[in-house]
Structure 1
């Protein structure tokens, strides 16, 4: 394991995106292709059985393909040479029949993504469960909302958590809808016409998809929109995690002190023993930035010249695995943060009171507007704001400028008075989260 692996990687996703696993997916493709072609009647069943028997036992190391990949620009040629050396003579000519290198690599990449998606779905659901727990347990704690880095109005802490959670609910919905376009087989042959399979090409394609438990699609070797849609989805997930990280970083600042990111310890400093740095939230932000940059590379892979373009195609080979690893790692860290975050409700209340009541100005206008025109109510509150200082709160100033209103401002201007429809919003969010969690 590298020095940074535990912090900037996810072990389960690393395995799913490893070259060793990718080669296993390539082997799976070749076995499935042989079985499909035997079922359609293009190759003998005996040849398909021989290919299945041998390939299911073969182990190929990435290093075995390195020299050939350098020479040919793709690992498929040394891969097939390796396999044919181990097949009986009667089966050799039927391996990879009618397919081309890109068919193997693209379908292997789809199989890799299929495995990775299962991991990501599990991570997202675990994170949503943790966020749901936060809303249900700590959701009613008053805290200050911040707009443009300034104090705005009091809100329940649960509403802040809802803003983290709801994009993930939609991301799961997006993913389910996307799968029908993403998890599909690629088989096009030399130029996308399946000419080597003559009139049975589409039958083989359908049979191959069935063997691999993938969807059927017309050959898409120069159509990279589904992969790009998926990497954009990864960027959406990563950006939401980055937003959560930014919020925790702000709330964990010493001067703010509303949360401890990981109350189980960590975030030590080599020079300052008093520190508990929010290092996991920093990783959420950093990984989000990295993934966003990588998404631009995937967008460029859509610029495909003719019926195959290696200059664009190869951009995906490292790019997609790295985006998957980044996203899984960020989800792993967010799960830890949401599990071990410690809320300081006393500090949250102190921060609400930091401006001596100015954060209730909007609500004061609302209360006065029940008795006065809105413009007059706003004018009175603005006059009161001018009187607020360290010794005079907004409730005191309102009592002074609105003496004829006979309103108990100390009772009226409390955090809960600013919650509005937050409770209904949290209840709705709770129901939506539960809809996407396993029962």
Structure 2
């Protein structure tokens, strides 16, 4: 059987690269699924051999048959065979038993289909999740460089879409960095703790009694997974925790992607990507495509997290539908979160910060964003300070020219009060503190 031309990606080679998921598409493809399922079956047989339940020679025969099937099996054909039983394990076990020069009892030892599918899904999540963590850390490293470089670069902070007070670009980049670092740490921790699944038909390990607990532990060790405390067929915390952590990571990506998309707009002009995208109709366009596609991928994640969380009510010892709903959903979560992180990494790695535009926009109100400082100084001379300053600001009169203010404060003093570089608070200190936190985690200097 020859592989189909479209089995290299979960959604195909047309869109995966656009949303940063080219490598993840391969890591989560149909063929990757088949490989993971076969890896689990081989681990089951080798565990049985380790516990003296099958011969070592039979375990090697099963491993050889699995290797051949991994190369030859057509995912489309396996899919067609899977429809009758509702999952791919049933026909795959039949094929493995046909191919292996070993007795039937040496294949799928004591397991149920959910054991194999859950453990294969965990294997895929570990393998793909490593890529997601790598992309998150790459984006964080670029955010760290920006925070360090622009620690003292003044810009205007915006709240509720309006200019607020001065800050620095370094402080903004530090907020991106902290969220990305935390998301990468959390995801890595969750991936490390993902357990194997082994419980047999009804989760009692009856088929391998009295070796059930030892079998489950050895099976997990064979695959490099965490030993399960007990079968978790209908206690889905490992899956829901992973899905929720991916959701948080996608949010950590969406925040800087959104900021970049807005700051790169023509009116702001504060940042630009190293390789902006063009338009099929408008030659003048310079679109922040990496940030845009990162945002697009991340926006699809919360709905998928909701699907996982709403499928936690697995009834009794095997769910009818809720379990099945997890397979593609979790893979899409990995692909989209990782793709978003990948595209954000591309955006941040070559981000150009236009300090002249930052300065221009900071001065857009003529110092009105620091009106509270003028009000405080004026209040020492008149009880109407707030009303006087508000009237000048609303009228658009420069505060250092407003008669009601200059009657009490010298223009030079007013201009000093309106200097944004004198009202940055702890912006630079915040950047330093986040960078130190980053350094402790990575051991690298930006």
Deviation at residue 390 of structure 1 after TM alignment: 7.6
Alpha-carbon shift at residue 13 of structure 1 (Å): 0.7
Of 355, 369, 377, which residue of structure 2 is paired with 1:345?
A: 355
- Residue 180 of structure 1 deviates from its aligned partner by 5.1
Residue of structure 2 in register with 1:99 after alignment: 111
User: What is the Cα deviation at residue 278 of structure 1?
Assistant: 2.4
The alpha carbon displacement at 1:366 in A equals: 5.5
Task: Summarize the alignment of residues 32-71 of structure 1 with structure 2, pairs less than 5 Å apart.
Answer: 32-59=43-70, 60-71=73-84
2:252 corresponds to 1:240 = yes
Instruction: Report SS of the residue matched to 1:5.
Output: coil
Instruction: Structure 2 unaligned segments of length 5 or more: list them.
Output: 1-11
Map residues 13-28 of structure 1 onto 2, 5 A cutoff.
13-28=24-39
State the match for 2:288 in structure 1: 278
Take 1:190 and 1:383, find their aligned partners in 2: how far apart are those partners?
79
C-alpha displacement of 1:406: 9.1
Q: CA–CA distance in 2 between the matches of 1:32 and 1:97?
A: 10
Mapped to 2, the partners of 1:138 and 1:407 lie a distance apart of 29
Select the structure that is richer in helix.
Answer: 1
**CA RMSD, aligned part only?**
2.2
Displacement after TM superposition at 1:321 (Å): 1.1
Query: Shift of the alpha carbon at 1:140?
Result: 1.7
Deviations 1:225-268 (A, max 9, x none): 221111111111112222212211221221222122x23332x1
- In 2, distance between residues paired with 1:314 and 1:398? 73
Inter-CA distance 367–342: structure 2 relative to 1 (3 Å threshold) = farther
Q: TM-score, normalization: structure 2? A: 0.90
CA distance in 2, matches of 1:420, 1:198: 66
Aligned residue among 215, 240, 248 for 1:204: 215
Q: 1:142 aligns with which of 129, 154, 158?
A: 154
> Residue 185 of structure 1 is aligned with which of 191, 196, 206?
196
| Contact 1:356–1:389 (Cα < 8 Å) also in 2 | no
Deviations 1:294-334 (A, max 9, x none): 11111122111111113111111211111111111111111
Secondary structure (helix, strand or coil) at the match of 2:400 reads helix
- Structure 1 residue matching 2:157: 3-state secondary structure: strand
Q: 1:391 to 1:290 in 2, by over 3 A?
A: closer
Task: Give the TM-score, by structure 1 length.
Answer: 0.92
Q: Structure 1, residues 45-68: CA drift from partner, whole Å, max 9, x if none? A: 332232233323432231231222
Q: Give runs of aligned pairs for residues 20-419 of structure 1, distance below 5 A.
A: 20-59=31-70, 60-88=73-101, 90-179=102-191, 181=193, 183-217=194-228, 218-260=230-272, 262-266=273-277, 268-365=278-375, 379-388=384-393, 392-397=397-402, 400-401=405-406, 403=408, 408-419=413-424
Looking at structure 1, the residues matched to 215 and 130 of structure 2 have their Cα atoms a distance apart, in angstroms, of: 27
**What runs of 5+ residues in structure 1 fail to find an aligned partner?**
none
Q: Is the alpha carbon distance of 1:366 and 1:203 closer, same or farther for their aligned partners in structure 2, counting shifts above 3 Å? A: farther
Residue 132 to residue 398, structure 1, CA distance change in 2 (3 Å): farther
Separation in structure 1 between the aligned mates of residue 390 and residue 50 of structure 2, nearest angstrom: 81
SS at match of 1:351: helix
1:398/1:409 contact within 8 Å kept? no
